[in-house]
Amino acid sequence: MIRAILTSFALLLALPAMAEEIGSVSYRFKWIGPNDKIAIEAFDDPDVAGVTCYIARARTGGLKGAFGVAEDPAQASISCQQTGSIDQTKLDKLKSPHEVFSERASLIFKTTQVVRFWDAKRRALVYLTYTDRVIEGSPQNSISVVPVGAK
């Protein structure tokens, strides 16, 4: 029992970043419930201070969307920027690839994720967003690159 509690606590500490909604636009009218929309969210890389990523993704509206049981489309776009100073001494120690953001795209089984890669040869942080599903994921993806100055 204690082991299960400690494991759960450790998992909570290792969770990817949480996103903050910046805004959204409607792209499809729904007679009942909220319209379908494209939402823009921002999150800071939890391991690399000074990097912020912006992700745009479709959100399904209607009654299912209002009650949180809709399945969102698998399309997402990402742009990551350097927003502060980056401690370059920590970059070569980064786990690569490493999930830095994850949020559900359906009630169960489907998530939109952002995975960070460290390209040491080119001194660049590469962020990949995609949506996966337990049975069948989607190859649709988007990347963003943050170049890091020379050592």
**pLDDT (tens digit, 9 = 90+) per residue, 42-93?**
999 999 999 999 999 888 777 776 677 666 677 889 999 999 999 888 888 8
Output phi, psi for 46, to 5 deg.
-70, -15
pTM above 0.75, yes or no: yes
Asked if pLDDT for residue 15 goes beyond 70, the answer is no
Is residue 2 scored above 60 in pLDDT? no
How is the chain split into domains, by residue range?
2-147
DSSP 50: T
The identity of residue 114, as a single letter, is: V
Task: Give 3-state DSSP helix, strand, coil % of the chain, rounded to 5.
Answer: 15, 45, 40
Q: What is the pLDDT of residues 117-142, one digit of tens each?
A: 999 999 999 999 988 766 676 788 89
What is d(CA 105, CA 138) in angstroms, rounded to the nearest whole number?
A: 12
The backbone torsions φ and ψ at residue 51, rounded to the nearest 5 degrees and listed phi first, read: -125, 125
